Amino acid sequence: MSTPPTDGAPSPLTRDQLVAAFHSYGTPREGWRVGGEFERALVHADGRPVGYSDPRGIRWVLERLAADGWRPEFEGDNPIALYKDGASITLEPGGQVELSGAPHRRLADLAAEAAANRAALRELVADGDLTWIAAGLTPIADIDDIEWVPKGRYVVMREYLPLFGDLAHFMMKGTCSVQANFDYADEADCARKVRLAAGLAPLTTALMANSPLYRNQPTGFKSYRAHIWTRTDPSRTGFPRALREQYTHEGWVDYLLDVPMMFYKVDGEWLPARGRSFRVYMEQGFDGHRPGPDDWALHQTSVFPEVRVKHTIEIRGADCVDHDLAIAFCALWTGLMYCPQALADGLDLVAELGREGTAMERFAAAARGGLDGVVSGRPLSEWARELGVIAERGMRRCMPDDLPLLDPLLARIDAGRCPADDLLDAWRADPSPEAIIRQVAY
């Protein structure tokens, strides 16, 4: 909560303090863990959206889960999040339900946690016409028909973001993704891992592409979700070129300080920041208020680059996919991030991948064509085969017992097909909404 300056107030935040905090986040290698975040959407069997306030809607889902031991968080009278055993369940603006799992030493434990959550969600709707779906974009519903979740920050965001991107509401209410989180030892280790994750973003976007339909028609993109992000707000999406080439904690803090703010919070009230920067908030204050550490943490959640650095490195550029493939995505990055040789080989691949064109051009090729997209003169399916070899070797060295969890992704690499290819084939065979929802059922 923001605090007004008084004689007894804590010392104001400074840039040096924020940089020093990032230097303190490093974790010794023996303590490295893996985390995953999984978004899913709830729809009717014919693809119509399920609202927060519907009789068997998103609020009902949270209330049922809370009865099973999850601790609820409320905004006013509305449950908006749940917590249990180091994990959380939160809501995206259109009612997408996200599991942010606890960090785990073994991928098998991460997979078990995600599977248990999936089973609980499926059991809730087993006796009706509701279905959880795994897709990068809701394939049938119109975005305007999706109810907004009653969270104060989303009230501000829904007004602010469309000023800077015509597909902002698509991002907020219609998209779902998979995210993997990893530790780093120090600034140098973080820099290498950030460069790897940012450089490979087009390739992993293509591998996981799973959003070719909107309103039950092909969009012309294998990952329309990825395209949507390019038309949301360029000041807080993508990844800064300077940090892509040479990451430092100092440069990262400066980027965060200068990203325009959407909102801030005072005494529980969400207020529009009107694009003023956190640097100005920190140094001059807004309306007599200056930020504290919680405000800095809140601001970081409003920045949406392909790779986000906090206590961990968050890899964010993947469409929502089925459970097995989502876990394989986490396995892919585990092999790359936690095996030193795989990390080095992956960085060599990044250099080759980026020898022609711009980062935006590579990303656009992946979003439109999936594994058929062409980067640096080669289809992304060929680049994916090289990446698969590197990741498999990395997993074999750093986490051999969990190597089979990578198999679903390796099978897709061998076939040269992303999930969008299967969904488009299914649509051509039977374009009925019910058939499409069955194809993407979670």
Domain with 432 in it: what CATH number? Answer: 3.30.590.20
Share of the chain above pLDDT 90, in %: 97
pTM of model > 0.85:
yes
At residue 4, the pLDDT reads 45
> Looking at the 3D structure of the chain, how many domains does it have?
1
Q: Is residue 222 part of a domain?
A: yes
* CA gap 354, 242 in Å, rounded: 15
At residue 21, the pLDDT reads 97
pLDDT in tens, 30-77: 999 999 999 999 999 999 999 999 999 999 999 999 999 999 999 999
Amino acid residing at 308: R
pLDDT grade for 1, boundaries at 50, 70 and 90: very low
Q: Residue 325 above 70 pLDDT?
A: yes
* CA gap 115, 201 in Å, rounded: 26
86: containing domain: 32-259+303-439
* CA gap 208, 318 in Å, rounded: 6
Question: Mapped to the 3 state alphabet, what secondary structure does 140-202 carry?
Answer: CCCHHHCCCCCCHHHHHHHHHHHHCCCCHHHHHHHECEEEEEECCCCHHHHHHHHHHHHHHHH
* CA gap 118, 132 in Å, rounded: 9
Mean pLDDT of the 322-346 span: 98
Q: Is residue 289 part of a domain?
A: no
pLDDT in tens, 2-23: 444 444 455 789 999 999 999 9
At residue 3, the pLDDT reads 45
At residue 10, the pLDDT reads 57
* CA gap 233, 172 in Å, rounded: 12
Q: Is residue 100 part of a domain?
A: yes
Q: Is residue 356 part of a domain?
A: yes
Q: Is residue 14 part of a domain?
A: no
Residues 6+ apart with CB under 8 A from 418: 206, 207, 208, 209, 210, 222, 370, 371, 412
148: phi then psi, degrees, rounded to nearest 5: -75, 140
Question: In DSSP terms, which residues pair with 270 in a beta bridge?
Answer: 265
Place of tokens 């089979």: 404
Question: Mapped to the 3 state alphabet, what secondary structure does the chain carry?
Answer: CCECCCCCCCCCCCHHHHHHHHHCCCCCHHHCCEEEEEEEEEEECCCCECCCCCCCCHHHHHHHHHCCCCEEEEECCEEEEEEECCEEEEECCCCCEEEECCCECCHHHHHHHHHHHHHHHHHHCCCCCEEEECCCECCCCCHHHCCCCCCHHHHHHHHHHHHCCCCHHHHHHHECEEEEEECCCCHHHHHHHHHHHHHHHHHHHHHCCCECEECCEECCCCEHHHHHHHCCCCCCCCCCHHHHHCCCHHHHHHHHHHCECCEEEECCEEEECCCCEHHHHHHHCECCEECCHHHHHHHHCCCCCCEEECCCEEEEEEECCCHHHHHHHHHHHHHHHHCHHHHHHHHHHHHHHCCCCCHHHHHHHHHHHHHHCEECCEEHHHHHHHHHHHHHHHHHHHCHHHHHHHHHHHHHHHHCCCHHHHHHHHHHHCCCHHHHHHHCEC
* CA gap 17, 216 in Å, rounded: 50
At residue 11, the pLDDT reads 73
Q: Is residue 11 part of a domain?
A: no
CA angle 159, 234, 367 (to 5 degrees): 110
Whole-number average pLDDT of the chain? 96
At residue 8, the pLDDT reads 45
pLDDT in tens, 225-281: 999 999 999 999 999 999 998 999 999 999 999 999 999 999 999 999 999 999 999
Q: Is residue 56 part of a domain?
A: yes
Q: Which of 388, 363, 329, 30 is nearest to 180 (CA)?
A: 329
Q: Residue 220 above 80 pLDDT?
A: yes
Q: Is residue 265 part of a domain?
A: no
pLDDT in tens, 360-408: 999 999 999 999 999 999 999 999 999 999 999 999 999 999 999 999 9
Are 42 and 320 within 8 A, CB to CB? Answer: no
Q: Where is pLDDT greater, at 202 or 12? A: 202
